[in-house]
Chains A and B, each alone.
Chain A
Amino acid sequence: MEVKFNVRRYDPESTDTVAHFQEYQMDMDASSTVLDGLIRIREEIDGTLSLRCSCRSAICGSCAVKVNGEAGLACNTKIVDSLSENGNTITVEPAGNLPVIKDLVVDFQPFWEKIRAVEPWLQPEGEEPETEYLAPDEDMLHLAGVVSCILCGACVSDCTVMEVDSNFLGPAALAKSYRFVGDPRDDSAQQRFKTLNESGGVWDCTRCMKCVEVCPKGVAPMDRIMALREQVMESGYTNTNGARHANEFTNSVKHSGWLDEKKLVIKSFGIFNIKAMIGLIPLVIRSQRAGKVPPIFHKSIPGVENVRRIFEKVETKK
């Protein structure tokens, strides 16, 4: 079938320093992948197109791009599933939230720095056993769901918080952290919780679900972040911004049916924490630019009674 690829190009060496879209038309097998298309472009039509790819089988994590605005691996995204409704066009752009180097190649340095920040290595205590550590198979099977993360960055590309807050550790690094917290052989959970509880940690996720939707490996980073939150609270970190945030979050939704983000901020940091408030100004400005600033007056949503009823039900159940 005839397919039109609309590819975002950027060449830092060209005089034209802004990115632009370039169209390539090809006859493609519908069951082939977006990566097949990009490879054909660069081998048959335009050798100047740069992209990363290697394994072609969704395991090396090289080829995360945005296809029609959503992040995914080019190598496991089929042409048939990516065609626009009004014609056979597929739009391909570089992964988001990371600086573009050239065409579809982005700079992963900030990504790796965040991975490194969660100290992603096993930290057991005491003497090493002579043979393997004993560990239940169920625990290991459960961890396998996170270990299968290929560090492709698709989740980071589309994370709505990373878009406005570069301080956020983000879904991939937090999932990586969960992998160690959940490992029966690791003895550093308490110390890991301390980092996770700080600003940029588990409390900064807005639960937008984007990372779960785009992850090609079913890692479900958001679910891991939520599990970490619970463990952080359980481990005694209750009087912190994050924990207060969790409480206030619940109160706000119970009261008005949705989140009062301004009040949430004040309650979370404490009203007298002027320094933290000032520190938030750049975030607010960035959010405003991205159209994400909450309205000044926080009104209840229609049907808020129903929300309150749900809360009552859940609370009596506890």
Chain B
Amino acid sequence: MLDHDILIIGAGLAGMRAALSAKELGADVAVVSKVHPVRSHSSAAQGGINAALTDRGDDWRDHAYDTIKGSDFLGDQDAIALMCEEAGSEVIAMEHMGAIFNRDEEGRLGTRAFGGQREARTFFVADFTGQALLHVLYEQILKAGALVYEEWFVLSLIVRDGKCGGAVMMDIRSGKIEVVRAKAVILATGGLGRVFEPSTNAMICTGDGMSLGYRAGASLMDMEMVQYHPTTLKGSGVLISEAARGEGAYLLNSENDRFMLKYAPEFKELASRDVVSRCEQTEINEGRGLDGCVLLDLRHLGEKYISERLSQIRELAMDFANVDMVKEPVPIMPGMHYQMGGVKASVDGETSVPGLYAAGEVACVSVHGGNRLGANSLLDTLVFGRRSGVHAAEMVKSTQHLNVDESAADDDKNNIQKLLANGKNESFGQIRLDMGTAMKEHFGVFRDENSMREGIEKIESVKKRAEDVYVTDKGSTFNTNLLFTLELGFMLECAESIAVSAADRTESRGAHTRTDLPDRDDENWLKHILVSQNKDGGHDLSYKDVVITDWEPVVRQY
């Protein structure tokens, strides 16, 4: 059995930020990640990170309001205010640690424009901001000598009397299963994109933490809020960053018409993501698309500008769509990108289970509400990652380990034995594909009652099939086949909670758009939907009012 004060599950931006802040306070910290830290999905973030810096004439209150409006007034205003107020110092801290960032003429941090915001306040490193920040945090982890269990897969959380006391994990390289006793566990496992097909998310984004938390008794919140990003490549679902539009790209339909002028006269292409995705889908549905896509036109930016600031996405478009954006417009479509919801957490990361914290995309504080603004997620991971680490480090000082022993791993060992013993049947690949396609079809940009009901049935039947999925690889060394099968279990649980929450919200708000109920209903629905597991393994739904402080909900216009 292994022993630590704090076990952090996940080595993306949220996890490593939490580790650094907890380590600084002297806690015994260990990080566990199913991939090497720099392989975490945070590396894929292209566009940038938001912060309102006062010495640049910006005001965090403006950032807060843009975020609240972007959330379609479902975000909790106290948490949003806090995130925006701390954004500046967080970005500066990253710069001090070594992040390079693009600069202005005076050598200070430069900004670019991003969607849904009145001010250009997105700080960036060309078009690989996430990778640049992730590597800097990894460098700091090396400098601090923090312990990382690289390529270990967390199977379950250990819960005793309703409190979290550690986790069970498997060394992917050897198949060895270990119990880790910890006074605090921080979930920083990122998103669940692979629940949908296609998705911009990496193959490791399988919602493990949301499911681990849910199984441990924590509530999930805002799960119906799934972001469709306006610019993804057809087929692969690979993302073309909002930075493209931030730098001035246009959206055109098949009639060569800049259609966003009509829908969002003020913000145009830079309206919030839910709005732009809906407009694109409307154009496509009304016959003004091209082969299911609309066009993203960057030609007027010129080759030099594109290669200096958007070279990575230029390559992506060449590799995955065979299009050179310097010469031709890129066919794009709305694609599943981000989960606004997650394990309900306070601004200090505390979940409804004592000892269990959550930060980053796995968590729902709720700062994104019904729709996240571009470049607010990296900010979310850093601010709430740090705060969780600090809070946990204080908490463990006055906490004893729970009574945990080796037997805590028994259930997981049996489960794996059972999986490996399943007879020849379907493989996880087909099942995941069927789940992902059903989620896209029934819980996509536009939803309605009948379609969602049908979706729920499909998920149920996929879940049944998954019970006797066949694992071909019986070995213990780097058995990715087994890992995918375990991840499939996590994903199905996430799919279900998205589906039941979506079907429950009888209005349209943010990313949740119902064609049968197109209006926002502030009277009944200024509240979050919470899902938790009941004793029989079914779903319990409950509600929590949205926190409104200074900003009264108004109709959104862009």
Contact = CB atoms under 8 A, between A and B. Distances in A.
Interface of A: 11-13, 31, 33, 42-44, 46-48, 50-62, 76, 78, 101-103, 105, 108, 112, 116, 119-122, 124, 128, 131-137, 140-141, 143-144, 147-148, 150-151, 183, 185
Contacts of A44: 427, 429
Interface in B52-81: 53, 55
B142 A11 contact: no
B102 A140 contact: yes
19 contacts: A48-B473, A53-B203, A55-B44, A59-B43, A60-B40, A76-B319, A78-B319, A116-B142, A121-B98, A121-B140, A122-B139, A135-B100, A136-B103, A140-B100, A147-B132, A148-B128, A150-B43, A150-B131, A185-B98
B490 to A, nearest CB: 16
Interface in B533-558: none
A55 B239 CA distance: 11
Given A42-B480, A50-B478, A147-B125, A57 B320 contact: yes
Interface in B81-139: 92, 95-98, 100-110, 125-126, 128, 131-132, 135, 139
A137 B203 contact: no
Interface of B: 35-36, 38-41, 43-44, 53, 55, 92, 95-98, 100-110, 125-126, 128, 131-132, 135, 139-140, 142-143, 173, 202-204, 236, 238-239, 308, 312, 315-316, 319-320, 322, 427-430, 471-473, 475-481
Nearest to A138: B103
Contacts of A55: 41, 43-44, 202-203
Closest 4 CB pairs of A and B: A43-B429, A47-B472, A122-B98, A134-B107
A136 B107 contact: yes
Nearest to A135: B107
Contacts of A147: 100, 125, 128, 132, 135
Given A121-B142, A132-B108, A57 B102 contact: no
B349 to A, nearest CB: 25
B143 A121 contact: yes
Contacts of A59: 43-44, 128, 131, 312
A137 B105 contact: yes
A135 B100 CA distance: 9
Contacts of B126: 144, 148
Contacts of B140: 121
A56 B36 CA distance: 16
A103 B479 CA distance: 11
Contacts of B472: 46-48
A51 B203 CA distance: 12
Contacts of A46: 472
Nearest to A76: B319
Contacts of B96: 122, 124, 128, 132-133
B124 to A, nearest CB: 11
Contacts of B125: 144, 147
A137 B43 contact: no
Contact of B43 (A42, A52, A60, A128): A60
B319 A58 contact: yes
Nearest to B479: A50
A260 B290 CA distance: 63
Contact of A51 (B55, B107, B108, B480): B480
A140 B143 CA distance: 22
Contacts of A62: 35, 39
Contacts of B475: 11, 13, 48, 102
Contacts of B107: 134-137
B89 to A, nearest CB: 10
Contacts of A121: 97-98, 139-140, 142-143
